[in-house]
Structure 1
Amino acid sequence: MHIFDSVQKTKRKFIPLKEGKVTLYVCGPTVYDDAHLGHAKSALVFDLLTRVLEANGYEVTYARNITDIDDKIIKKAIEQKKDIQEITDFYTEAYHKEMEALGVKRPTLEPKATQNLEAMVDLIQKLIDKGHAYTTPDGDVYFDTASDSEYLTLSHHSQNEEDKQERVASSSYKKNHADFALWKSVKDNSVTFSSPFGAGRPGWHLECSAMIEKHLAYKDTPFAIDIHGGGADLLFPHHENEAAQTRCATKHELANYWMHNGFVNIDGEKMSKSLGNSFFLKDALKEYDGEVLRFYLLSTHYRSNFNFNTQDLESAKKRLDKLYRLKKRLFGLPACNDETPFKKELLKSLNDDMNVSTALALIDEMISKANETLDTAGKHKLLKRETLANLAYIEKLLGFGIQNPFEYFQFGIDETTKEKINTLIEQRDSAKKEKNFALSDKIRDEILSLGVNLMDTPQGTFWEKV
C-alpha cells in the first residue's frame, strides 16, 4: 500500500509504527452550523481510507474530533438565546445523521474539546516549562514560533504579515507575528474555563495535539501516530501549528504520514460561506439518495479539487444505477464470499494512494461483462457466484450497493405514497390468488398511475420509481 505524503510530496510505501495496527486522526467539524459538502468530502475520503486499511488486514484506531469550543458557537448561542451545549448537541447529532446517510462509519473515537480541557492545560504547561510558550500581561498564553527551529517544515509555507494565524483577535503582546494562541484570556461574562493561566478558552490549534497525545499517541515511537488527515486548507496554519506543539512538548513528531483532501468547488467556484455558495449537505440529501452523493463525491481522486455540479451528479447516479440493476438480476440468491481476480485488482488499485478512477473503471468493466454473460448464459452458476462475491466486496470496500436493489430505485417517493403502493400490491396479490384478474389489472393500473413500475419476481412483487 502506498500513500501520498503531503509533507514529503511523494508517494510513500505505508509501513505502520506497530505491526498490524494503524492509528489515524482526522480533524472533525466545528459544530455551530449544518455540515456542508466540504465536510462530506473529507469524511468520505477518510472513511474510504479506513476501509482500505482494514481490507489489508490492519486493525485501525480512528479518531475524529468534535470542536465544541469556538467563538462562532458562542456567537450563535447568544444570537439564538440558547445554551452552548444545546447548540453543539444539535449540530453534532445532525452531523452524525448526515454522515450515516452517506454511509460513513463512526470513528473508533470521537473526542470533544470540552471533554479534554485537562489534557490541553497539561500540554500548555509543558510548553511553558520547556521555553516554547509565554504568558502575556493580559493573561494570554502564546506559542513562541521562534523557539522551534523546525517551524514551517511541515507546510513549507512562506510567512508574511497578512498570514492569519488565529480565529480570535490577536494580542499586541505577541513576540512574533507568527506566534499563535494556546490560551486566550476572557474578561467578559461569556463562556470561560478555569486554568492555572486564568479564566479563558483554549486556542483552536491546541485541541488536536492534546487529544492525540491523550487518546492515540504511542510513547515509544518517533511519531505519535501513523496518519494525520484533513482538508488541504488545514495544512497551514492548523496542522503546522499542531506539529510544532507536539514536537516541542514531547519526544516525538506528530505523524508519520500526512494526508490532505482537495477543496470542493461549486460550479467552478471555491465553496465559501462568504460567497453564499456553501451547499449544505442536508439540502443535497433532500434531492439525492445518500449513496448517490457518496458515489459522486468519491468519484474523483481525493487529492484533486472537486467541482460539484448537478450535471456530473446525474451522470454519477446513472453509473451507480447500473450496479444496482446488476444486483437486481441476482436478487434472492445466497451470499457468496469467494476469492476472485476482480477483488484482488480492486484492492490493488485502491492501495495505490486510493486510485478511485482505476477502481471505478474496474467496476464498470465487471458490470458490463457480467450483464453480457448473463444475457447469453443466464443460468451460469459459477458466474453468478463470482458476481455476487464481487458485489459484496464493492459494498465492503467502497460502500456502494448496500441497499435492497428495489428500494434503491424508490428514492423520491414519500412515505405515505410508499405505504399506499405496498397496500395496493397486497390487494393485487389477493385478487390474483382469487383469480379475479379484472380486479388485479385495475389495481395494477392504479399503482402505475402513481409513477412507478411493477416487477413480478419469484421472490414477490417489487416496484421502483419511473
Structure 2
Amino acid sequence: MQIYNTLTRKKEEFVPIVPGEAKIYACGPTVYNYIHIGNARPICVFDVLRRYLEYRGKTSKTVQNFTDIDDKIIRKANEENSDYLTVSQRYIEEYKSDAKGLNVRPADVHPLATENIDGMIDMISALVDKGYAYPAENGDVYFSTLKDKEYGKLSHQPIDDLKSGARIAVGEEKKNPLDFALWKGAKPGEPSWISPWGKGRPGWHIECSTMVKRYLGKTIDIHCGGQDLIFPHHENEIAQSECANGVPFAHYWMHNGYINVDNKKMSKSLGNFFTVRDVAEKYGYEPIRFLMISAHYRTPINYSAEIIGQCKASLERLYNCRGNLEFLCAHAPEGAKDGEREIRRSLESHQDKFIEAMEDDLNTADALSALFDLAKDINTKLSISSPPSKDICTFALNLFNELAGVLGLLYRGKNDADEEIEKLIEERAQARAAKDWAKADKIRDELKARRVVLEDTPQGVKWRVE
C-alpha cells in the first residue's frame, strides 16, 4: 500500500515496523462540546484506514486519546459553574454516541490525558535533564525549539519563517517566541497536579507524546490527524518525543484536508458552523459518513444541504441493490447455472479496482466508484426476469457487503418503520388472496403515501422507499 507521507511529501510504500502489524495513533477531540462536521472527517477517514489494513490481513493497534484537561474545558466549566471532570465526561459520552452513529469502531485504547500525568512529568523531566526544556520562575516549563535542529521538518517551514509569526503572550516567561509550554504553572481556580516545578497542569502537545509512548511505544507506524494539526501540534509532538526518546517518533504522517460549508470556511462568526448532531438529526448519520469518504482524504470537501441530500440518495441506491440481492438469494434455486462463471469474473473485476484504489493512498473516492460499478453490474446481470442461482447470488451479496463494510457503509438495520411496512405488505397479500381488492388497493395507496414502491414478482413482493 502506498501512503502519502506529510513528513517526506511523497507517496511511500507502507512497511510496518513489525511485519503484518500496524501501530496507529489518531489525535482525538478536546471534549468541551459536541464534535462538528470538521471533526467527523478524520474520525471517519482513519476508521476506513484501519478497516482496510485489517481487510488486507494486517492486525492493528489503534489509540485515540481524549484531551480532558485544556483551557477550553476549564472555560466551559466556569461558564456552567461546573468542573472540568463533569464537562469532559459528559462530552466524552456525547462523542461516543456520535461516533457510534457514524459507524466508527472504538479504538483499541481511548486514554484520557488526566490518566497519564505521571508519564508527562517523566518526559518533561527527561527533556529538562537533556537541556531541551527549561523551567520558568512562574512554574511553567517550556520546550526550547532552537535546541532541536530538526524543528520544522514536518511543516516544511524554515525556523526563521516560523519565528516571524510567533509571539510571547502576556504572562508567559519563555525565552523565544517559538518555545511552547510543556507544563503550565497553577492558576487560581484551575485544576492542578503536583510536579517538580510546583503545582500545575500539562500543555496540550506533551499529552499526545506521552500517550503514544505508553500505549504504542517510542516509535509508531502511522500518526493521523487533520491538516490543521500539522503545525504547531504535530510539529511539537515530534520535537519533544524525538528529543526525549532519541528515536524517530512516527514513520508515516497522514493528514486529511479541510471541510468548507457552502464553499466558505466553517466558522461560528459566519453562522455556518454545524455539529454532527445537528446534521444527523435532519439527515441521519450515514450520509455524513458517506460525504467524509466521498473525496480523497487529502483534498478539501464542501458541505451543503444539497450535497448531503445527494449523499443520502446515493446511499439509497446501494441499499436498493443490496435489498434486491437479498430478495434474489431468498428465492433463488440451489446450485449453479451455466454462464455464471463469467458473471463471477465480472463482479470480481470491481473488487480488483476497489483494492487498486485503496492501495493508492487510501483513495476512497475511487473505491466508492468501484462499489457503485459493482452495484450496476449486479443490477444488470442478476435479475428476477431470469432468476440466477443461489450460488451466484450469495457470492455477489457477500462481495457487495464485504466492500461496503471496508468503507463502513450500509450499516443501517431494520427499524420499526420497516417492520410496519412489511406487516402492511403481508396484509395486502392476504387481502389479495381473499380477493378483497378494495382492502388491497387501500393498503397499496397507504404505502404509496409513504413513498414505498411495490413490485409484484412471481417470487413475491419486493419493496423499496423512494
Number of the residue aligned with 2:361: 353
1:220-239 to 2 correspondence within 5 Å? Answer: 224-239=219-234
By how many angstroms is 1:257 displaced? Answer: 0.5
Q: Letter of the 2:80 partner, please give it.
A: Q
Could you say what secondary structure the match of 2:352 adopts? Answer: helix
* Structure 1 stretches lacking a partner, 5+ long: 219-223
DSSP-derived class of the 1:228 partner: strand
* SS of equivalent to 1:331: helix
Partners of 1:50 and 1:437 lie apart in 2 by: 54
Q: What value does the CA root-mean-square deviation take over the aligned residues?
A: 2.7
Report the more deviating stretch, 386-395 or 226-235: 386-395
1:228 shift after superposition: 0.4
Aligned to 1:174: 174
Q: 1:464 to 1:329 in 2, by over 3 A?
A: closer
- Structure 2 residue 245 is matched with structure 1 residue 246: no
Q: Which moved more, 1:114-123 or 1:311-320?
A: 311-320
**Native 8 Å contact 1:52 1:351 kept in 2:** no
Q: Which residue of 1 aligns with 2:377?
A: 369
Alignment CA distance shift 1:150-1:458 (3 Å) = farther
Does residue 1:314 correspond to 2:309, yes or no?
yes
Give 1:102's aligned residue.
102
C-alpha distance in 1, partners of 2:316/2:275? 24
Q: Which residue is 1:394 aligned to?
A: 403
- Work out the CA distance in 2 between the residues paired with 1:72 and 1:251: 32
Instruction: Please give the per-residue CA displacement for 1:62-92, whole angstroms capped at 9, x wherever unaligned.
Output: 0111001011111111111223222112211
Moved more, 259-268 or 308-317: 308-317
Distance 2:288 2:253 in 1: 26
| Structure 1 residues 4-153: aligned runs within 5 Å | 4-153=4-153
- Structure 1 position 204 matched with structure 2 position 204: yes
The whole-number CA distance in structure 2 between the counterparts of 1:215 and 1:42 is: 20
CA distance in 2, matches of 1:148, 1:246: 11
TM-superposed CA distance for 1:344, in Å, is 3.0
Partner SS state of residue 307, structure 2:
helix
Kindly tell me the number of residue pairs found equivalent between the two proteins.
Answer: 447
2:162 equivalent to 1:159: yes
Q: How far apart, in 1, do the equivalents of 2:366 and 2:427 lie?
A: 47
Is the CA contact (8 Å cut-off) linking 1:370 and 1:383 kept in structure 2? no
- CA drift at 1:303: 0.4
Secondary structure in 1 matching 2:299 = coil
How far off is 1:148 after superposition? 1.1
Determine the C-alpha separation between the residues in 1 that align with 2:300 and 2:309.
19
Q: Retained in 1: the 8 A contact 2:293–2:365?
A: no
Q: How does 1:271-290 map to 2 (within 5 A)?
A: 271-290=266-285
Does the CA contact (< 8 Å) of 2:42 and 2:225 recur in 1?
yes
Name the CA shift for 1:120/1:440 in 2 (closer, same or farther; >3 Å): same
Q: Structure 2 length normalisation: TM-score?
A: 0.88
Distance 2:90 2:71 in 1: 17
Q: Which residue of 2 aligns with 1:221?
A: none
> Where do residues 258-273 of structure 1 align in structure 2 (5 Å cutoff)?
258-273=253-268
SS of match in other structure, 1:391 = helix
CA distance in structure 2 between the partners assigned to 1:451 and 1:69 by the alignment: 49
Residue 336 of structure 2 is matched in structure 1 by none
- Return the TM-score normalized by structure 1: 0.88
Q: Evaluate the alpha carbon distance shift between residue 115 and residue 432 of structure 1 in structure 2; reply closer, same or farther with a 3 A threshold.
A: farther
Determine the C-alpha separation between the residues in 1 that align with 2:180 and 2:44.
30
1:330 aligns with 2:328: no
Distance 1:139 1:289, change over 3 A: same
The CA deviation string for residues 203-234 of structure 1, in whole angstroms up to 9 with x for no partner, is 0111000001111115xxxxx10000100010
Paired letter, 2:241: T
Question: 5+ residue gaps in structure 2?
Answer: 333-343
SS of the counterpart of 2:294? coil
Instruction: State the Cα deviation string for residues 441-465 of structure 1 (Å, max 9, x = none).
Output: 4344344444544566799877654
